[in-house]
Chain A
């Protein structure tokens, strides 16, 4: 309960001002397409040069927390996921916004984020030493099986067709191979300079999700007499809470998946949202309505991606190993103030460490308050006429993909993938499995190659990949997941 005595630090005028500023700024940065939490935190680091370590970290912690949640805003209203964490949010959130339920989607999204986030930070406070060992337990072979487990989700993620889901996953895996391979030093499919560094995930996300709907809106033209005007439904806070608590199962699945997966260095944040979404779908009675605007999907995805924030800092704070790109940036922010994370961080700098963690806790709550406040206004976006909306989204898409690394190459990649995706969607393929392939490809490949290199120097590949409790456990999960997909596709055929 040591953390309680440092709560005072969070409420000092300067600290609290930074916390509020960081939260609001983080929500805005997170809602801006192309600005991922990692970039938002990196952009803020120079500002902390002038602050005391405690204040600097409060700013960074607040920004990290709220950018992750802010990404849901553009995912829901514009179908542009701010980061890989928000992909699953867009699947049902955008459908809800189209029906005029944007405010409802934003409300449940922020509430679910807040609950998931608070539980994640509490885990960080109480279970850090236990969790640190768990984070280290994952070597290359386990990460490989984790990625394969993610791949098995691909088939069931697409509600329309199992085969087309797998095929889009394959396209995603292939896209992930493009670029210079850091481990073996091979150049793969680099036909243009813009592809040397591979396809940047943020640029790809913007293209794959936003561009097809822009083309769709343009193709309808301006003779919009028959375009029905969306009525924005008012949403009361009490009603949102009711929706949330009627879906406790999704909330639990999201929070548990997010916290467990968030711990694993190098994998966590990227796939927590999608895995939680898939699990919630499998365990739901009305799984056919997923993807058509079911708030359950938004709840699972958002509780997972915020639950991941706290645990993702465990390896950083205890072992000085940044488990995610954002944690790496935070490490820079700590070092710049002469604070070395490690097992004695909480004894050497308790003031800094606990105030930082407490600020994330309070930050989650502030994030929910401000998020709910803006939700009603933000949802009006859906009333903008399609022709204007299409132009605005296109501008944001170009701006977002360019700003990822100030490169026109990313803009070309974004546009080409977007146009490709438009035609794929026309022929019944969907975006989510493709993106999951793009994310998991490098994780599976790099860990397989590293694992084989280590295996060659030790007992051989069979021994390395197929023995050990954790390997076997993951393999069983993979088999169960594949089996489930087959079973459910067969039983739905029988039903129809």
Chain B
């Protein structure tokens, strides 16, 4: 009896789903949307995601509020694994991505996601990695610091937020550019713990987020020697050279891009609608003001630009990380 009931119900359910599918997209969104952040509450990604989605409920924006759900753990793997395998693809569950983190992790293996599993919607921010040393450090330029590393392979201790995050990628790129080894020290407590190690003098220097390093240098605790980006940051650090300007072949591959994505299989109409409305929402003046107040650089990119950025990173990181395996 149970079997019979099941065999009757399953086709009926499938039929119902196909019929209601397009209808669902038409009224979208009719209830609040959740955005999964794969880092803890209070972290930079969480805090920025909350700011950039705070006007979503307005009638002229998405028309429904966005709520943030945190699924932290294992450097983001817990949240993104969940997003790729369990998140509903009905448009009501979106996620925040961090590039290069999730791409580097997917190349390294052992996770259930890759750029193929996710559909980007829009990018809101970019936080380049910078090289910092403590305020009393004998090194005053990036060249002095990296000359030391060239002469003493494996002796330059540089702290960073973890493995396969932007800071680690920047360290790998620097190693490649100077053809020598660094002692990259990942920390467990994220960028804040890595910065503490630099300020306290536990390590010679560190690779950290521009936003956090800017604050620390304003507070007089660190010197910022270089930015790992293709151009200087005119807004916060106009006087700090890029690694490229200092003569090292390091591009913007380590820049931490943050944005919103949907799981694979989300109805195309929903993706199109979000791809149009979300970047427009990021343009909101109130958001810009709050982001600037928090020292978080914004970079709004639409779906096509993000798709292109993802595929460039995918190609480059596959090559860079090939040596690590």
Q: Does B73 contact A (CB under 8 A)?
A: yes
Q: Which residue of A lies closest to B188 (CB)?
A: A446
Tell me whether B71 and A405 are in contact (CB under 8 A).
yes
Query: How far, in angstroms, from A331 to B220 measured CA to CA in the complex?
Result: 18
List residues of B (67-109) whose CB comes within 8 Å of A's CBs.
69-75, 77-78, 81-82, 85, 108
Contact of B188 among A138, A183, A185 (CB under 8 A): A183
From 47 to 71 in chain B, residues with beta carbon under 8 angstroms from any chain A beta carbon are 47, 50-51, 54, 69-71
A–B Cβ pairs within 8 angstroms, 17 of them: A42-B46, A45-B42, A136-B200, A139-B202, A182-B75, A183-B162, A185-B164, A266-B189, A325-B40, A335-B47, A335-B293, A340-B218, A342-B216, A342-B221, A454-B185, A457-B155, A457-B157
Count of chain A residues with Cβ under 8 Å from any Cβ of B? 58
List B contacts of A136 (CB < 8 A). Answer: 196, 199-200
Q: A42-B42, A197-B78 are in contact. Are A319 and B221 (CB under 8 A)?
A: yes
CB atoms of B157 and A185 under 8 A apart = no
Q: Does A265 touch B at the CB level, under 8 Å?
A: yes
User: How many angstroms from the CA of A45 to the CA of B48 in the assembled complex?
Assistant: 12
Evaluate contact between B78 and A196: CB separation under 8 angstroms: yes
| A338 in the interface (beta carbon within 8 A) | yes
Per-position 1/0 for B285-305, Cβ under 8 A of A: 000001011110000000000
Check A182–B70 contact: CB distance below 8 A: no
| A11 contacts chain B at the CB level, 8 A cutoff | no
Distance A449 CA – B163 CA, assembled complex (angstroms):
14
A139 x B185 contact (CB < 8 A): no
| Residue-wise interface mask of A (192-215) relative to B, using a CB-CB cutoff of 8 A (1 in contact, 0 not) | 010011101000000000000000
Give Cα A456–Cα B54 distance, bound, in whole angstroms.
47
Question: Given the complex of chains A and B, what is the CA–CA distance between A328 and B45 in angstroms?
Answer: 13
CA of A344 to CA of B75, assembled, Å: 33
Residues of A within 8 A of B202 (CB): 139-140, 454
Q: When chains A and B are docked, how far (Å) is the Cα of A377 from the Cα of B50?
A: 38
Identify the A interface with B (CB < 8 A): 38-39, 41-43, 45-46, 49, 136-140, 179-180, 182-185, 187, 193, 196-198, 200, 265-266, 315, 319-322, 325, 328-332, 335-338, 340-344, 405-407, 442, 446, 450, 453-454, 456-458
Q: Is the CB of A321 within 8 A of B185?
A: no
Q: Which of B256-306 contact A (CB under 8 A)?
A: 290, 292-295
Closest to A331 in B: B42
Interface contact A457-B183, CB-CB below 8 Å: yes
With A136-B199, A453-B185 known, 14 other A-B pairs at CB within 8 A are A49-B290, A140-B197, A180-B75, A182-B162, A196-B74, A196-B78, A198-B74, A200-B73, A265-B193, A332-B43, A335-B294, A340-B218, A405-B70, A450-B187
Tell me which of B77, B156, B290 contacts A197 (CB under 8 A): B77
Which residue of the partner chain, among B42, B156, B199, contacts A328 with CB atoms under 8 Å?
A: B42
Least Cβ–Cβ distance between B110 and chain A, in angstroms: 6
Q: Which among A139, A330, A454 is the interface contact of B183 at CB below 8 angstroms?
A: A454
Which parts of B142-196 form the interface with A (CB within 8 Å)? 154-157, 162-164, 183, 185-189, 192-193, 195-196
Query: Is B41 part of the contact surface with A, judged by Cβ < 8 Å?
Result: yes
Q: Does B219 contact A (CB under 8 A)?
A: yes
A28 CB to nearest chain B CB (Å): 19
Q: Which residues of B contact A329 (CB under 8 A)?
A: 41-42
Partner of A182, one of B54, B74, B197: B74
Cα distance, A453 to B78, chains bound together (Å): 27
Expressed in whole angstroms, the Cα–Cα distance for A72 and B192 within the complex equals 29
Chain A residues, CB < 8 A from B50? 45-46
For the complex, what is the distance from the CA of A335 to the CA of B48, rounded to whole Å?
Answer: 11
Per the bound structure, the CA–CA distance linking A266 and B200 in Å amounts to: 14
- Chain B residues contacting A198 (CB-CB under 8 Å) are 73-74
Judge whether B188 and A336 touch: CB under 8 Å.
no
CB nearest to A344 among chain B residues: B219
With contact pairs A405-B72, A458-B157 given, residues A139 and B293 touching in the complex (Cβ less than 8 Å): no
Per a CB cutoff under 8 Å, which of B70, B74, B199 touches A319? B199
Tell me, yes or no, whether B203 is within 8 Å of chain A by CB: yes
Evaluate contact between A453 and B293: CB separation under 8 angstroms: no
B31: Cβ under 8 A from any A Cβ? no
Task: Across the interface, name the chain A residue whose C-beta is closest to B164.
Answer: A185
Nearest-neighbour CB distance to chain A for B47, whole angstroms, equals: 4
Which residues on A sit within 8 Å (CB–CB) of B215? 320, 340, 342
- CB <8 Å contact, B47 and A336: yes
Contact A328 B295 (CB under 8 A): no
Residues of A within 8 A of B155 (CB): 457-458
